[in-house]
Amino acid sequence: MNEFLTNMAGVVAAATPVVVAVIGETFSERSGVINLSANGLIVLAAMVGFAAAYTTGMVWVGLLAGFVTGAAAGLLISFSSISLKQSQVAVGFILSLLFRDLAYFLGTPFMVLPGPTVNRFAIPLLKDIPILGPLFFDQNVLVYFSYVLIAMSYYWIFHTRQGLILRGVGEQPISAYSRGIDVNRQRYLYTALGSGLIGLAGPMYSLSIKAGWNGTMTGLDGIGWIVLSITIFGGWNPLRGSFGAYLFVFLQWLGLALQSYWTSVPSQVLQVAPFPLMILTLLFVNIGDTEWVTRMMARLPRGVRGGFYKLFRFLRKPPPASLGVPFERE
C-alpha cells in the first residue's frame, strides 16, 4: 500500500507539467488560436530553462526563461496568424520542427551536466492527512503551483467577466467586437500567456522530473502532441483537461508497472499503449458527431436514442467555434 502511494505521488508529480501545458493550450485555443508547436516548444523551453538555471545557478531563472521562451513563441504564432493571416496549423507545425532542432543544436554544450533542481517541500499539517497528505502535499512547489493554476484558470474562464470575454472571442468574435472588445488584442494576450505556460512545462521537466539536458535522449519529444490531444479530450475545460493529464500519466505508469508482471509483452508495446488510447478517447469524444452515427441513431427507438444522445453530449465538447479562423472586421 505504501509503495503504491509513493508511486501515485510520483504520478501526480509527473503529470504536473502536462497539466500546466494543457491549461496553457486551453487558454490559447479558447481565444481562437491553436498552438500546434507545443511539441517542439516544450523541448526547446526545457533546454533553455536548464541552460539558464545552470548558468545562473538559480532555479527560478530557469523557470522564468522557459515561460518567456513560450510567450515569445506565442507572440510569433499570433503575429503570423492574426497579423499576417497565415495558417495556424502550418506555422505551428513548422515551428514545432524548428524549435526541436534548435533545442538539439543549441543544447549541445549543456549535455549531461549536473544542474540545479527544484526542492521538495512538504506542506506542514496538510502533509499529515492520511493518504491525501503523502499523495498531494509532500511534493515540490511546482506541483502546488499546478493545483492553484487548475483552480484559478477554471474560475477565470467560467466565472469572471474576463473569462466571458475570452470565450466570446473564441466563439463569436464578431459579437465580441461589436461590444467594443479588441478581439485581436485578446488573442495576442491569451496566446502569449497560454504559450508561456506551455513553455513553463519545459523547465518543469529539465529542472525537476527529468532533471538535466540529454539532447535527443531527454525523452521529451512526443509530450507536446499528447498535450494537444488532452486539450481536446478536456473539452477546453481546465478541470477536465487536468483530469485527462493525470489519467494519461497514470496509464503510462500502469504500462511500465505491468511490464514487470507481464514479461511476455515486449516493452515497446506497453510504452506506446497511451497512443492507441489517445486515438480511442478522441474517437469516443467525436464519434457522436459523425454522419453515419447520426443516421444510425435516427433509426433507434426513442428511449434508447435519448440515452445515446446524453452519452454523446457528455463525451463531446465542441471546440471554440472560431478556433483557427482569423478575425476580419468587415
Partner 1 sequence: MRKNRGFINFLFRISGILAALLFTALVLVIAKANPWEAFGNILMGAVSTPIKIADSFVAWVPLILATCGLVITFTTGLWNIGIEGQISLGAIMTTWALRLLQDSGLPPVVIILAGILAGMAGGIIWALLAGVLKFYGGVSEIFAGLGLNFIATALTLWLIFGPWKRAGVASMSGTEPFDMSIWLPTIPGYRLSVWSLALAVASVLIVYFLLQHTVIGLRLKAVGKNYKAAIQMGISPSKYMLLAFVLCGLFAGLTGAVQVLGVYHRLIPSISSGYGFLGLLVAMLVDYQIVWAVPVALLFAALNIGGIQLPIMMKIDSTLSGVMQSALVLFFMLMDGVRKKMLKKEEDLSDE
Judged by the rule CB under 8 A, the positions of this chain that interact with partner 1 are 36, 80, 83-86, 89-91, 93-95, 97-98, 100-102, 104-106, 108-109, 215, 222, 225, 228-229, 232, 266, 268-269, 271-272, 275-276, 278-279, 282-283, 286-290, 292
> Using CA atoms, how far apart are residues 279 and 229, in angstroms rounded to an integer?
9
301's CB contacts (< 8 A; 6+ apart) are: none
> Using CA atoms, how far apart are residues 209 and 310, in angstroms rounded to an integer?
39
From the number of C-beta atoms within 10 Å of its C-beta (0-12, 13-18, 19+), residue 111 rates as middle
Query: What does the block give as the cell for 191?
Result: 496566446
From the number of C-beta atoms within 10 Å of its C-beta (0-12, 13-18, 19+), residue 131 rates as exposed
Q: Which is nearer to partner 1, 168 or 320 (CB)?
A: 320
Output the smallest distance, CB 326 to partner 1, in A: 11
Q: Which is nearer to partner 1, 60 or 284 (CB)?
A: 284
Output the smallest distance, CB 277 to partner 1, in A: 9
Q: Which is nearer to partner 1, 74 or 134 (CB)?
A: 74
Q: Which is nearer to partner 1, 104 or 243 (CB)?
A: 104
Q: Which is nearer to partner 1, 2 or 268 (CB)?
A: 268
Which residues on neighbouring strands pair with residue 121, listed in sequence order?
139
Output the smallest distance, CB 320 to partner 1, in A: 15
Given a contact cutoff of 8 angstroms between Cβ atoms, the answer to whether 200 and 24 are in contact is: yes
Beta strands in 15-110 (DSSP E): none
> Using CA atoms, how far apart are residues 118 and 204, in angstroms rounded to an integer?
9
Q: Which is nearer to partner 1, 24 or 274 (CB)?
A: 274
Output the smallest distance, CB 131 to partner 1, in A: 34
Query: What does the block give as the cell for 153?
Result: 484558470
> Using CA atoms, how far apart are residues 212 and 326, in angstroms rounded to an integer?
39
Output the smallest distance, CB 200 to partner 1, in A: 22
Q: Which is nearer to partner 1, 152 or 265 (CB)?
A: 265
Output the smallest distance, CB 267 to partner 1, in A: 9
Output the smallest distance, CB 5 to partner 1, in A: 30
